[in-house]
Amino acid sequence: MDKYIICGERRLTGTVDISGAKNAVVAILPATVLANGVCRIENIPNIADVDTALEILNSLGATVSRIDKHTVEIDSRTIVTQTVPHDLAKKMRASYYFIGALLGRFGKASVPMPGGCYFGVRPIDQHLKGFTALGAQVLPMKNGMISACADSLVGNSVYLDMVSVGATVNIMLAAVYAEGITVIENAAKEPHIVDLANFLNSMGADIRGAGTDVIKVRGVNRLYGTTYSIIPDQIEAGTYMAAAVATGGDVTVRNVIPKHLESITAKLQEMGAEIEEFDEEIRVSAGNFLRHCNVKTMPHPGFPTDMQPQIAVLLSMAEGTSIINEGVWENRYRYVDELRRMGAEIQVDGKLAVIQGVPHLTAAPVKAMDLRAGAAMVIAAMAAHGVTEIEDIQYIERGYEDLVEKLRGLGADIRRVSEDEPALQTAQ
Ligand code: EPU
């Protein structure tokens, strides 16, 4: 039960470096299963989900060498089993990418139903539909395991009923060795989809159209080892941008791809923030006050659902009434009760949240309900009057590298305490 203790009303200023993208690396690490050689992956974020993915690779028999905090080398030629253990799979949603990768490489995979953040039901029917279309047999679930096998995979056309990042990734992984051409229609266009395609192509795959809604995968006979650097994390960058605005600050977010941040930049500008874009950095300065606005989350290039809780914190402090329409997940408002404890006025009705801005938030003991909800609580606490304690921070640390150190570098008063340390003290 470690927690963060945050003393609010500190203006964030300075420069922060953004780490490699969580949602890219959790697809790229399983994809190394497909290589006949050593893959060197650089710019990996130092987060719990990476540790879990590497432990899974290790458990399969791959040779994993951690070169330094941000670099790993993986040799999948030593893999001896196609079954992912329960205790590791339950720690991370993306463990299901091992189904596509193992099926693609070995023609069989057994992977437990994955864990991860809870946003209502999280079906994987589109993933399974894709595997079946390629000729795999998906076995009825047994002991919580999803098992699929195929004598050979053959390219086919797969139309996704809804835009799904996970299904797009999994079908790409299964299709790289399939005979002929696989066409994924209504594919996800997120930056991490493009990053995965670039990684696979650097190994010798033939994938075209990533970043559009039609991806074509022409099967190849062999994939090789490669050296690849992960793209910067769009959502980590967006989270620091929101934190800068929430605290009335002036922050330069470095090592980013500004194009990936356009929808976030546009909303922050609409709320009154000033934003300057450079080649690989963005400077965010808060305006004199926050204006209300409406936000609808959508698949890329729309406003990302993974920034929804963080933007809700800003809207909670903006003048007037704002409406959020959650367009991706069934239930992504579980953090609202926590934010209400801090004085936010939010009414939720299905996919809509109506937010009546208040002049300021006040400290309260709160919980991180999931990864992004937790990040939102950190932002709220840094803006609020008083000292906030945030519990269940293990969710946050699944996806944000060195959050405490990075925020302290910007002037935040945040401290991480473990269970046995005294509770309420100011952070610095
Ligand atoms: N869906 C189905 N059937 C499927 C797959 C998805 O009905 O077979 C539905 C989902 O229930 C959801 C929608 O389609 O309503 C989109 O789901 P998607 O498959 O795109 O989500 P995901 O792949 O499980 C990834 C990210 C999430 C992010 C979503 C949406 C990873 C590891 N996770 O999840 O990231 O919210 O895409 O952009 O890439 C996070 O980083 O905090 C996070 C939760």
Q: What is the pLDDT of residue 419?
A: 75
Q: Strands 145-149, 137-142: parallel, antiparallel or unpaired by DSSP?
A: antiparallel
Report the C-alpha gap between 358 and 344 in whole angstroms. 7
Q: How many CB atoms lie within 10 A of CB 14?
A: 12
| pLDDT of residue 426 exceeding 70 | no
Strand order in 181-185's β-sheet? Answer: 157-159, 181-185, 214-218, 206-208
Q: How many CB atoms lie within 10 A of CB 137?
A: 12
Report the C-alpha gap between 372 and 129 in whole angstroms. 29
Ligand 1 interacting residues, C-beta cut-off 6 A: 23, 26, 93-94, 117, 122-127, 162, 164-167, 188, 305-306, 328-329, 371-372, 399
Q: What is the pLDDT of residue 21?
A: 98
Residue nearest to atom 31 of ligand 1 (CA): 23
Question: Which is catalytic among the residues 39, 117, 149, 293?
Answer: 117
Q: What is the pLDDT of residue 142?
A: 84
pLDDT (tens digit per residue) in 399-420? 999 999 999 999 999 999 997 6
Q: What is the pLDDT of residue 267?
A: 98
Q: What is the pLDDT of residue 114?
A: 75
Q: Which domains does the chain have, with CATH numbers?
A: 3-19+232-417 (3.65.10.10), 22-229 (3.65.10.10)
Q: Quick one: which H or E segment has residue 356?
A: strand 352-356
Nearest-atom number in ligand 1 for the CA of 129 is 8
117 is catalytic: yes
Q: What is the pLDDT of residue 143?
A: 84
Average pLDDT over residues 63-81: 98
pLDDT (tens digit per residue) in 349-401? 999 999 999 999 999 999 999 999 999 999 999 999 999 999 999 999 999 99
Q: What is the pLDDT of residue 425?
A: 44
Nearest-atom number in ligand 1 for the CA of 190 is 38
Per residue, the 3-state secondary structure of 151-217, as one string, reads CCCECCEEECCCCCHHHHHHHHHHHCCCECEEEEECCCCCHHHHHHHHHHHHCCCEEECECECEEEE
Q: What distance in angstroms lies between residue 228's CA and the mean position of ligand 1's atoms? A: 25
Question: Could you tell me if 206 and 217 are in contact, meaning their C-beta atoms sit under 8 angstroms apart?
Answer: yes
Task: Report the residue among 19, 22, 23 best suited for mutation to probe ligand 1: largest number of ligand atoms under 8 A from its CB.
Answer: 23
| pLDDT of residue 168 exceeding 80 | yes
Tokens for 89, please give them: 């799979």
Q: Could you give the 3-state DSSP secondary structure of residue 422?
A: coil
Average pLDDT over residues 306-331: 97
Q: What is the pLDDT of residue 427?
A: 43
| pLDDT of residue 421 exceeding 70 | no
Report the C-alpha gap between 193 and 212 in whole angstroms. 10
What mean pLDDT value characterizes the chain?
A: 95
Task: Report the residue among 91, 162, 230, 329 best suited for mutation to probe ligand 1: largest number of ligand atoms under 8 A from its CB.
Answer: 162
Residue nearest to atom 2 of ligand 1 (CA): 123
* The model's pTM: 0.96
Average pLDDT over residues 177-181: 98
Q: Quick one: which H or E segment has residue 228?
A: strand 227-229
Q: What is the pLDDT of residue 116?
A: 61
Nearest-atom number in ligand 1 for the CA of 162 is 14
Q: Could you give the 3-state DSSP secondary structure of residue 88?
A: helix
- Apex 352 CA angle, 351 and 358, nearest 5: 145
Average pLDDT over residues 112-138: 86
Nearest-atom number in ligand 1 for the CA of 330 is 15
Task: Report the residue among 158, 328, 395 best suited for mutation to probe ligand 1: largest number of ligand atoms under 8 A from its CB.
Answer: 328
Among 204, 202, 207, 162, which Cα is nearest to 181's? 207
